[in-house]
């Protein structure tokens, strides 16, 4: 049985279009409540959100649906996605719900879920929720209805947890840090974390109005952070996405440091300290330069399908602890259970402090190969390699790169896009191949 609503990272879409409507969210809350109401007990589900205006509406709808199924609700307000994963575990809740569309603009929204262990839900639980969605909504006896309460200390607990992931006596004193909070969920907690670690902090993207989340700012638009770092003479800049599970950084020279490079920095720091059991997991999109750098360092490296759940699957299969994507979604299982932008940034700064090197210097062990990705908007998401004309063009492109690079075509897991990527040693050839291949995809789909 396939999934109708759940994608690779929850349920997401344009606000007001099915299924991102108040009616659906009411039914979804009820369906989740039916699945998680165990043994007739009044269990608790946490709900957090980012700063989108529509989050208020969907928060209320989910709360009502859960209560109708007999589930108590704890409302956390605007807080990063990984904070909800952590607090779901520490509050002993049966599940956590995040209302967010991550790095998308404000007019999109969605929901994603965490289990009681702070992990993404397994397929069988998502299928069970979809089975309930197909049933008529009924109301539990009025004496058993769920209650809702707002938790006021959630942010403070998460701040302390973030700080606990680096050595206790480590201080960032002397570091000047610029934070870009993307007008999103990290706008309150991230500045507090880095100030309490001793850094001198300046912030942008900390005045959300419900409509400006990710707007020309944050990890998907690090240009604003780059300008601020150079203008202020900062040591490092840190950009999060709208819900705080991704991070991209900028060094003191204004060079953008992406997730592949950050993953390399964290892995090398752990190897040098004897804290890297096993290897590292990247994805099909990880720059080939990272693979070469890990090979040279004697660190096993494996690629997973794109998406944090697939990175987690390979980590679990191999018994490894560290993985991530070039987008900045990094997973350090020795710290937490899911991708966390703040915690990932803390690990990088800790590596800088312990090595005595700048971000610019500490990244030099990895040399990225030229890579270009073009997003082609299509009417529906499907495998582009199922179309003969595209398959022939991709084969021809691989032959042109002659073993000095690669191409990759894949549908986005969250948007109606085909991602066309070319990578190789010859930058001009990479650009030419990617553009020609994207044009064929656009004409064929």
Q: Exactly one of 54, 60, 100, 102 is catalytic; which is it?
A: 102
39 token code pair: 């043994």
d(CA 396, CA 433): 10
Find all residues with CB under 8 Å of 273, minimum gap 6, and list them: 354
Q: Is 71 exposed, middle or buried (0-12, 13-18, 19+ CB in 10 A)?
A: buried
Phi-psi region of 284 (alpha: psi -120 to 50; beta: other; left: phi over 0): alpha
Q: Please tell me the distance from the alpha carbon of residue 245 to that of residue 80, in angstroms, as a whole number.
A: 7
Q: Answer for the pair 284, 410: CB distance below 8 angstroms, yes or no.
A: yes
Beta bridge partners of 322: 280, 332
- Which of 97, 112, 104 lies closest to 213 in space, CA to CA? 104
Q: What is the DSSP letter of 326?
A: T
Contact 25, 62 (CB under 8 A): yes
- What's the rounded Cα separation, in Å, for the pair 204 and 188? 12
Strands 236-240 and 247-251 turn out to be antiparallel
Peptide bond preceding 220 in cis form (omega within 30 of 0)? no
| Measured CA distances, 202 to 30, 50, 294 (Å) | 42, 21, 34
Residue 405: beta bridge partners?
A: 424
Alpha helices in 167-326 (DSSP H): 189-196, 223-232, 259-272, 288-297, 308-318
> Which helix or strand (DSSP H or E) is residue 301 part of?
strand 301-304
CB atoms within 10 A of CB 316: 12
Count CA atoms closer than 13 A to 420's CA, side-chain side.
26
Active site residue 344: no
Distance CA 364, CA 268 (A): 12
Q: Distances in Å between the alpha carbon of 305 and those of 81, 226, 282?
A: 22, 30, 9
- Active-site positions? 102
């Amino acid at each position: 049985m396939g999934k109708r609503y759940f994608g690779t990272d929850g349920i997401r879409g344009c606000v007001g279009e099915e299924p991102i409507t108040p009616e659906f969210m009411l039914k979804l809350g009820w369906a989740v409540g039916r699945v998680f109401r165990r043994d007739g007990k009044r269990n608790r589900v946490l709900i957090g959100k980012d700063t989108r205006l529509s989050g208020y509406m969907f928060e209320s709808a989910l709360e009502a649906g859960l209560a109708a199924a007999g589930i108590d609700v704890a409302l956390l307000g605007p807080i990063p996605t990984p904070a909800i994963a952590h607090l779901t575990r520490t509050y002993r809740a049966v599940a956590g719900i995040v209302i967010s569309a991550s790095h998308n603009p404000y007019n999109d929204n969605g929901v994603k879920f965490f289990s009681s262990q702070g992990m993404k839900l397994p397929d069988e639980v998502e299928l069970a929720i979809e089975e309930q969605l197909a049933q008529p909504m009924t109301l539990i006896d009025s004496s058993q209805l769920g209650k809702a309460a707002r938790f006021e200390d959630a942010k403070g607990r998460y701040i302390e947890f973030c700080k606990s992931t680096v050595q206790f006596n480590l201080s960032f004193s002397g570091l000047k840090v610029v934070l870009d909070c993307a007008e999103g969920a990290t706008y309150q907690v991230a500045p507090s974390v880095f100030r309490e670690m001793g850094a001198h902090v300046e912030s942008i993207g900390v005045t959300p109005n419900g409509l400006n989340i990710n707007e020309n700012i944050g990890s998907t638009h690090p240009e604003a952070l780059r300008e601020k770092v150079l203008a202020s003479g900062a040591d490092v800049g840190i950009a999060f996405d709208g819900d705080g599970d991704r991070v991209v950084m900028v060094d003191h020279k204004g060079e953008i440091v992406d997730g592949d490079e950050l993953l390399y920095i964290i892995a090398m720091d752990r190897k040098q300290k004897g804290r890297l059991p096993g290897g590292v997991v990247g994805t099909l999109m990880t720059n080939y330069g990272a693979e070469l750098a890990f090979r040279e360092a004697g660190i096993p490296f494996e690629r997973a399908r794109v998406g944090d759940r697939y990175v987690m699957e390979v980590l679990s299969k191999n018994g490894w602890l560290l993985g991530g994507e070039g987008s900045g979604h990094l997973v350090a299982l020795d710290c937490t259970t899911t991708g966390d932008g703040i915690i990932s940034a803390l690990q990088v700064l800790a590596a800088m402090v312990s090595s005595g090197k700048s971000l610019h210097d500490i990244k030099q062990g990895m040399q990225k190969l030229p890579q270009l990705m073009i997003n082609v908007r299509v009417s529906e998401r499907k495998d582009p390699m199922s179309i003969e004309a595209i398959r022939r063009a991709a084969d021809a492109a691989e032959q042109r790169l002659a073993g000095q690079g690669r191409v990759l075509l894949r549908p986005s897991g969250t948007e109606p896009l085909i991602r066309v990527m070319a990578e190789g040693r010859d930058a001009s050839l990479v650009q030419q191949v990617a553009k020609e291949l994207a044009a064929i995809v656009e004409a064929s789909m």
